[in-house]
Structure 1
Amino acid sequence: MIKQREFEFLKNVLKSRLEIELKGSATEIPIYQSEETNLSELAGFIRENKLSNPEVITLLLALAPHISPEFYNSIIFSFLPNGGDFPEFGGAKGKNHRGILPTGETVLFVLAGSDIEKRSTFLELFSEDHLFARKGVLYLEDVPVGEPKLSGRLIMEHEFVDLLTTGSISKPKLSSDFPAQLIETDLKWDDLILNEKTTAQIAEIEIWLKHNEVLMNKWGMKSRIKPGFRILFAGSPGTGKTLTASLLGKYTNRDVYRIDLSLVISKYIGETEKNLSKLFDRAENKDWILFFDEADALFGKRTGVRDAHDKYANQEVSYLLQRIEAHAGLVILASNMKSNIDAAFTRRFNAIIEFEIPSTQERLILWKKNIPENVKLDGQINLEEIARKYEINGANIVNIIHYACLKTLERKSNTILYSDLLKGIQKEYLKEGKMINLN
């Protein structure tokens, strides 16, 4: 939570600058004094990152409209009671917000007034290399062509507004501005039934997630290895790709966001890049796992360029590859079949992991694991025989058990009938357009 003293400090900074510029006062700009007893998230962030006085002021300037809508108006009005234009201060109006929103011009005015040389020294606050950009704290909004860059609004990322005002970060929700959905699971690694080869490959991803930070920074490999880790999960639906991604996040304390590429791709030229750009910009420095489902939609085998849409489709693929290769976190692309993905793209991955249809023994384990403990099976049911006879995946098995359990409850019983289990198997086969002999 924010303490009142931070905004009293900012108010005094603004008043001092206005005294200097409008009244010729010899007032000094106040210096922020950190107090160890101040346990607010804002004070902690300032101490942890050893922010300089100009950085503290910039941070507070960006945060102020989110706390007090009239903050800037009330201070300026006290100096200009009759109103009037004051372009030196900068500032902009929002669509809904009725107060003043700070711009880059506002920051330079507050920090340096009309001193041109001094103003230029503070431009680095908006550079890509500055802590504010590296940590995704705040940035200047893009402006129309021909307008000064510093006239862009000073925008603090939503996550930091949440953190500094409430002490916690709300997780982004699926929307047109954020085409990704948080995926979580209550299951454990023991619930994921895969062959030994696939399990070993997944363990290597977990090793990367645990040790990459030390390898890159403390062991000095940052200049030799590309940032991030790129994996292709290949396998038919229901074989555990999404569950694996969820478990990787769960056991390494990372959020996993699923992006359905078939939904992100737009029929409008240029919109796909815009949709993806929003996602990667939000994901920067968040340590999220990005799970791109239905990757075949964008990374399928390429054909010749026949029209403008083919040309732009290739540009979309190139753009996504660039963003994936520049992303410092784990990116997983999921495809129904490895052969669906163009070979030119597969070379970009650190690893390709194939999720196969479970073997007879693996299917038997899945059957046994997913039947509720307090449910009985009638005497006709032989799980070993069912596992051997019906080549289905884990998702199919869960669906069949779900169906059979509902039928059991409807009969006010706790014993699954063989006929209900067979009916469930038949439904799964028919759903996938397959024929089945239940005899």
Structure 2
Amino acid sequence: MEVIQALAQTLERELGWFQHVVDIRLKNYFSNSNTEIEALETPPNITNDASKYAKECIKHNLDPLERLVLILALIPHLKPNALDVFLIKNQNLSIDFVEFGGIRTPSKPGFLPTLETACFIVGGSQLIKRFLFLDQISLTNVLFKNGILKVNENEEFGLKMSLQVSAEYLSLFTTGEKALPEHSTSFPAKVITTQLDATALIVDDSVHNSLAEISQWVIHAPKILHEWGLKKNLKPGYSALFYGPPGTGKTLAATLLGKATERPVYRVDLSMIVSKYIGETEKNIRKLFDEAAHKNWILYFDEADALFGKRTQTKDANDKYANQEVAYLLQRIEDFSGLVILATNFYNIDDTFARRFQTMIYFAKPGKEQRKLLWKQLFESNLDLESDIDIDKLSENHELTGGEMINILRHCALEAAKRGQKTIFEKDIITGIRREFSKQNKTL
């Protein structure tokens, strides 16, 4: 509640400042005055403001012009009637004032601002102010570059473009929490999380060390690149390849990296990325990376064989386009400012791929001692075991991955639940092992 109260108080002050500036602009405009609007340069002081809105303004070092554009984009959600002043008609011509910009539709009563609206508020009819506005508020401006304001791909960037706050920041400025995008055709990725901690990942020490290095890079990259001035030598992003048999901990490792670095991990749905139609795969990759840009997300391409397998010797036009799409993905990965992880069950990567990764980590099938730890972790800590179950023997005799053991655990837990008790019988485990082996055409 305190978070929302702080937001409301800060935004009330920001709205009051905005309305004061607009009142002066309209008064000057209709009196043909070019008097400078001093209030434009003196927005509310937010230096000691603890609200999420103020913190973001300070974090991105927004100047008065950028704050005005931001609050203008928020007004349709906060106080839409504050823009009703722009609905007046030009009585001489019986039309809207085109210089006010904005979008008016019969289906949505009211005034929806465009960049033209912000340009008018800032500069009125002064050409020099218009040019200065256009120079500052471009696609490279912090508001668009960091995804605070969104760019509709169906609109050309310019003064006629609607002014919209991204869903992520609209949620942050109204609830105090960022809304993460939902899995959809336009964003084919979904947040994955885990309730486990690092002790649940039973892998070689070398794997743990490599994962720790990735985590430390993500945490310390801002200092290395910006405070130490190494951004001219090093790219901001980090790419890693996880490879090894299924069920060996690749996805768990990705989610644990998210936990350690306090970043959301998005598993990319490659079935919605890779297309048989020429040019569509590239288009889908562009959409994904454009949405994820500057968001501090971890992108996890699971079962990336679908992409690796497309790289072939060029025999016809389709091979040529497939190789172009893979090359485009590699380029977007290199340019991405965050962490990208590609996971594959098979190591079929050529040198061109390998050179693009900062780290390549092999997740091997667990050895005997690791299997013993997994059996104990999964079974002994949660359930009661029949007295004649020998964990050492199970570890010695059955080469299973952690993923396969989890499937066996599920089967055993279900059998125990059907009996109305928490005790696991040896026969349940053996049946579970047989089920896993049968998937690989193996027998026990």
Equivalent residue number for residue 284 of structure 1: 293
Offset at residue 262 of structure 1 (A): 3.0
Could you say what secondary structure the match of 1:291 adopts? strand
Question: What pairs up with 1:200-279 in 2 under 5 angstroms?
Answer: 200-279=209-288
Could you say what secondary structure the match of 2:112 adopts? coil
Distance 1:260 1:225, change over 3 A: same
Offset at residue 384 of structure 1 (A): 1.2
Distance 1:101 1:130, change over 3 A: same
Equivalent residue number for residue 318 of structure 1: 327
AA partner of residue 229 (structure 2): G
Could you say what secondary structure the match of 1:237 adopts? coil
Counterpart contact for 2:89–2:96, Cα < 8 Å: no
Could you say what secondary structure the match of 2:177 adopts? coil
Give me the whole-angstrom Cα distance separating, in 1, the residues matched to 2:340 and 2:125.
47
Counterpart contact for 1:302–1:342, Cα < 8 Å: no
Give me the whole-angstrom Cα distance separating, in 2, the residues matched to 1:209 and 1:165.
29
Counterpart contact for 2:17–2:43, Cα < 8 Å: no
Counterpart contact for 1:262–1:294, Cα < 8 Å: no
Give me the whole-angstrom Cα distance separating, in 2, the residues matched to 1:390 and 1:143.
56
Counterpart contact for 1:238–1:396, Cα < 8 Å: yes
Query: CA deviation digits over 1:303-357, x for unaligned, max 9?
Result: 2445554333223212211111011111110011112x33321221111101011
1:86 and 2:93 correspond: no
Equivalent residue number for residue 4 of structure 2: none
Distance 1:27 1:41, change over 3 A: farther
Equivalent residue number for residue 397 of structure 2: 389
Query: CA deviation digits over 1:274-307, x for unaligned, max 9?
Result: 3222322222222111111111111226224455
1:104 and 2:115 correspond: yes
1:359 and 2:370 correspond: no
Distance 1:46 1:200, change over 3 A: closer
Distance 1:4 1:375, change over 3 A: closer
Distance 1:96 1:204, change over 3 A: farther
Give me the whole-angstrom Cα distance separating, in 1, the residues matched to 2:404 and 2:223.
41
AA partner of residue 330 (structure 1): L
Counterpart contact for 1:16–1:28, Cα < 8 Å: no
Offset at residue 368 of structure 1 (A): 0.6
Give me the whole-angstrom Cα distance separating, in 1, the residues matched to 2:126 and 2:316.
54
Equivalent residue number for residue 299 of structure 1: 308
Distance 1:55 1:413, change over 3 A: closer
Offset at residue 122 of structure 1 (A): 1.3
What is the aligned-residue identity percentage? 41
Give me the whole-angstrom Cα distance separating, in 2, the residues matched to 1:416 and 1:38.
57
Equivalent residue number for residue 138 of structure 2: 127
Query: CA deviation digits over 1:124-167, x for unaligned, max 9?
Result: 333344322343222554566xx783222223222121112222
Could you say what secondary structure the match of 1:333 adopts? strand
Q: Which range is displaced more, 378-387 or 236-245?
A: 378-387
Give me the whole-angstrom Cα distance separating, in 1, the residues matched to 2:270 and 2:213.
26
Give me the whole-angstrom Cα distance separating, in 1, the residues matched to 2:35 and 2:49.
27
Give me the whole-angstrom Cα distance separating, in 1, the residues matched to 2:108 and 2:177.
24
TM-score w.r.t. length of structure 2: 0.89
Equivalent residue number for residue 32 of structure 2: 24
1:434 and 2:441 correspond: yes
Give me the whole-angstrom Cα distance separating, in 2, the residues matched to 1:407 and 1:383.
19
Where does structure 2 lack aligned partners over 5 or more consecutive residues? 1-6
Could you say what secondary structure the match of 1:232 adopts? strand
Equivalent residue number for residue 407 of structure 2: 399
Aligned residues: 432
Give me the whole-angstrom Cα distance separating, in 2, the residues matched to 1:269 and 1:22.
55
AA partner of residue 185 (structure 1): T
1:76 and 2:81 correspond: no
Equivalent residue number for residue 43 of structure 2: 33
1:169 and 2:184 correspond: no
AA partner of residue 14 (structure 2): E
Counterpart contact for 1:125–1:132, Cα < 8 Å: no
Query: CA deviation digits over 1:170-227, x for unaligned, max 9?
Result: 2222112221111111111111100122222222212212222211112221111122
Q: Which range is displaced more, 388-397 or 149-158?
A: 149-158
